[in-house]
Each structure stands twice: as C-alpha cells, then as structure tokens.
C-alpha cells in the first residue's frame, strides 16, 4: 500500500423527505442569498423545486434560479451562472440534480470566487484559491460529485472536456432521498450504475495490490451495484435498491474504495473525449470503451483481473491459467452491461468512428501529445488510438 490522506467533509442527510431540510442547512452555513441551480423541467414538474423553494422561504433565504444544465455540462452556462451570482450577491450555490448540475455548480463557484477566466482553472493554467460554498440535493445516483473533489466541464469552443479536482469545491452538505430517483428513465438509471461501478474499477485496477481491506470494500461495493442495478430493471421503485445505488454513488467517488492505492482513470479519460465530441451519456460511453481498455492492458497483471473476475463477477478460478479467468471476467462485465441496456462498443451508440476521428480523439486525450494516461498501464497516444479502434 501507499501513504494516503482521506478527507470527506460533506455532511450527508439521507432518506425520505430530506429535501425539506434544505433551508435550515443553508441557514446553518451563515448564507443568505442562494443560486438554485438545476437541469431541465423534471425538477419543476415533479414538485421538487417547489418543495425546496418553500424550505428556503421558511428559512428566510433569498434565491435566484438558473436551470438548463445538460449532460456534459457546458462552459457557457457556467459563465452565465458566474455573471448572475456576481450581480445578485449570491453567497451559496444549491445544486439540484445529478453530477452534471453539481459539476456546473462547482464551476460557477470557482468562477465567482477567483479572478480571471474560470476555464483557465480547468485547463490547468492556474489553481483555484477559493470557491463559493455549495450544497446538493441529489436526484440521480451516478457521478458521486456530491462527495468528491472533482468537477468536469465541456468547452463548446472545440468541444473539449476537462476535469479539475480541488477540496475547495467539496459540497458542504448532500441531501439524498432515493425516492427522487424513481421517475428517472431506466437508461439514465443504468448509465448511473455504470458510472458508479467504474469509479471503483478505476481505483481497483492499480499497480499496488497488497491492501486487502480496501480491496474488500471495493469488491463488496461493486457486487452490490451489479445486484441492485439488475433489481431495478424489474422493479424500478424498489426503495432499497435505489438507496443502495445512491449511497454507492457517494462511497465510490469519495475515495473510500481507493485508500492506500493509486488508480488508473484511463477509461474515464478516453470516454471524456468521446462525450466531448459526440455528447454521449457518460455512463454509456464508459461501458462502450471499458472492455477494449481491459483487453488491451490485462496482461500487465492478469492475476489482478482474475481476482476481480472471481470476487466480483463470480467466475470460477482457473489457478493454472489466470489470464483465462481474467478474460472470462471481462466478458462477464460486458454481459452485465448488455443485460442493463448499455453498449459495449461505440457503434452500439450509433457512432461509426472514422480513422480521422480516432486520431483527433487520441490527440485531445493525450493533451496534444503532452501526457500519457493510466496507472495500471501507462498509455501514450498510439495506445489510445489502438483502444479506440478496438472499441469502435
């Protein structure tokens, strides 16, 4: 194992009707003017925004609203939120939605609290020095942004998707009512399940394989996600299954499943370029590229993939040929993806990649040939091209 620091300052309020606590929680932060940030019309039609607004009014908190966040949140809306917050004197941002809304809120928080263009922070030209305080009312189990230090924003100028991580943006609180996820389309629910699973898999496949407690936590979480995702295919309003996915979303990305280990993140980096170029759902994009990444790298440590196959996917161990067990595990993951309606290739998302597009994807993913990606196996631009070719 390696040395690690574990930091999870976000206060979690979990269970039915917890969104009614929003006003009190913000008042306890000493804030008085809120940006209510959300996505489309579903939050209004469901009555969720109305309940939150009533809670804010009861607590004596003023608010302004900005909707319109889309999957792969856009820099242009972040700019609009920054402008609105500065003009109105906002001192708190409340994200009502999933990872895209929370990521957009973090971008706005950085932009209000720091001078200059917020994109300079995401493009790593400078570091953030502050961030407006942020809270979240979660409506989808997926990204784990409610307890992570990460944010990902898409710049429409060139359709470049970049992430930035800083503890300054961690949510002060996260309200999690699993009932708020009942009305999600099943495709969206299962995209979220893949994202949760992948956040732990990115940490699980690493060069350090000697910290058993973290492995067992990670394996248990992944088994639970797979089990409950299958339940929801048949029973979309199963409260316990919804609650399990929602809590797994947070635990999978607050680094509990990676303590004492390094991580990989190659699949995420490869997918970021796909969703930046084609605006595909993040979870679907991850499902489409993961199998190709896994087949490309598994011989770096086939025993690690074999352990995953046995302990997570229930594959019998072939002690004489761990590479065979490893490949069976990869096939089992792809079988799970198909069972929940997820793609296992880019073509299955309706995209037929050309050689020119693959070159562009790899060029962007390598930051114009200035970096490699991955921890399990370091991947240069040529490796990225090969994985995209395998995934198409």
pLDDT at 88 over 80: yes
- Asked whether the CA dihedral 190, 193, 197, 198 is positive or negative, the reply is positive
- pLDDT tens figures, 194-240: 999 999 999 999 887 678 999 999 999 999 999 999 999 999 999 99
Percent of the chain with pLDDT over 90: 91
The pTM of this model reads: 0.91
Count of CA atoms in the C-beta half-sphere (13 A) of 371: 10
Query: Which of 48, 51, 29 is CA-nearest to residue 38?
Result: 48
pLDDT at 288 over 90: yes
Distance CA 156, CA 372 (A): 24
- pLDDT tens figures, 341-391: 999 999 999 999 999 999 999 999 999 999 999 999 999 999 999 999 999
Query: What CATH code is assigned to 11-180?
Result: 3.40.50.1970
Give the pLDDT score at 1.
Answer: 79
Distance CA 150, CA 324 (A): 36
DSSP structural state of residue 147: T
- pLDDT tens figures, 309-350: 999 999 999 989 999 999 999 999 999 999 999 999 999 999
Q: Helices 381-391 and 282-297 meet at what angle, rounded to 10?
A: 110
Cβ-proximal residues to 2 (8 Å cutoff; 6+ apart), any chain:
208, 260, 261, 262
**What is the average per-residue pLDDT within 159-187?**
94
**What is the average per-residue pLDDT within 50-74?**
95
Cβ-proximal residues to 287 (8 Å cutoff; 6+ apart), any chain:
194, 337, 342, 343, 344
Give the pLDDT score at 49.
Answer: 93
Give the pLDDT score at 43.
Answer: 79
pLDDT at 2 over 90: no
3-state secondary structure of 16: coil
Distance CA 256, CA 282 (A): 22
Query: What CATH code is assigned to 185-391?
Result: 1.20.1090.10
In contact, 159 and 145? CB cutoff 8 Å: no
SS3 sequence, 204-262?
A: HCCCCCCCHHHHHHHHHHHHHHHHHHHHHHHCCCCHHHHHHHHHHHHHHHCCHHHCCCC
Give the pLDDT score at 188.
Answer: 94
Strands 160-165 and 134-138: unpaired
Give the pLDDT score at 305.
Answer: 96
Distance CA 98, CA 327 (A): 33
In contact, 297 and 265? CB cutoff 8 Å: no
pLDDT confidence of 133, banded at 50, 70, 90?
A: very high
* Sole residue written with tokens 């949760």: 196
**What is the average per-residue pLDDT within 285-313?**
97
Q: Where are the domains of the chain?
A: 11-180, 185-391
pLDDT confidence of 41, banded at 50, 70, 90?
A: confident
pLDDT confidence of 44, banded at 50, 70, 90?
A: confident
- pLDDT tens figures, 231-269: 999 999 999 999 999 999 999 999 999 999 899 999 999
In contact, 27 and 95? CB cutoff 8 Å: no
* Sole residue written with tokens 């609180």: 173
């Amino acid at each position: 194992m390696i040395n690690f620091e574990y930091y999870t300052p976000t206060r979690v309020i979990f269970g039915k009707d917890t969104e009614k606590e929003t006003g009190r929680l913000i008042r306890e932060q000493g804030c008085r003017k809120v940006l209510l940030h959300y996505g489309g019309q579903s939050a209004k039609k469901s009555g969720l925004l109305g309940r939150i607004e009533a809670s804010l009014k009861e607590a004596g908190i003023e608010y302004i609203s900005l909707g319109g966040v889309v999957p792969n949140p856009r820099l242009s809306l972040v700019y609009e939120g920054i402008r609105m917050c500065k003009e109105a004197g906002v001192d708190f941002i409340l994200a009502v939605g999933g990872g895209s809304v929370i990521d957009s809120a973090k971008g706005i928080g950085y932009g209000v609290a720091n001078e200059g263009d917020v994109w300079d922070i995401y493009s790593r030209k400078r570091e953030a020095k502050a961030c407006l305080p942020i809270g979240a009312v979660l409506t989808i189990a997926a990204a784990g942004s409610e307890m992570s230090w990460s944010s990902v924003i898409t710049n429409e100028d060139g359709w470049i998707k970049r992430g930035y991580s800083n503890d300054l943006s961690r949510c002060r609180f996260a309200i999690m009512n699993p009932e708020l996820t009942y009305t999600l389309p099943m495709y969206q629910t299962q995209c979220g399940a893949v994202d949760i699973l992948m956040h732990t898999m990115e940490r699980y496949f690493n060069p350090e394989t000697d910290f058993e407690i973290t492995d067992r936590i990670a394996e248990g979480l992944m088994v639970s996600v797979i089990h409950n995702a299958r339940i929801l295919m048949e029973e979309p309003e199963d409260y316990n299954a919804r609650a399990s996915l929602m809590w797994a979303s947070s635990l999978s990305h607050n680094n509990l499943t990676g303590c004492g280990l390094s991580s990989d993140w190659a699949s995420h980096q490869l997918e970021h370029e796909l969703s930046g170029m084609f605006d595909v759902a993040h979870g679907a994009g991850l499902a489409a590229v993961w199998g190709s990444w896994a087949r490309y790298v598994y011989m770096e440590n086939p025993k690690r993939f074999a352990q995953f196959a046995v302990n997570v996917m229930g594959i019998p161990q072939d002690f004489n040929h761990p590479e065979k067990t490893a490949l069976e595990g990869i096939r089992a993951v792809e079988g799970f993806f198909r069972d929940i309606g997820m793609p296992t290739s880019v073509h299955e998302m309706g995209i037929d990649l050309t050689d020119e597009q693959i070159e562009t994807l790899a060029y962007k993913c390598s930051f114009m040939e200035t970096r490699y990606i991955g921890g399990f196996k370091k991947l240069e631009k040529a490796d990225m091209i090969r994985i995209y070719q395998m995934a198409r």
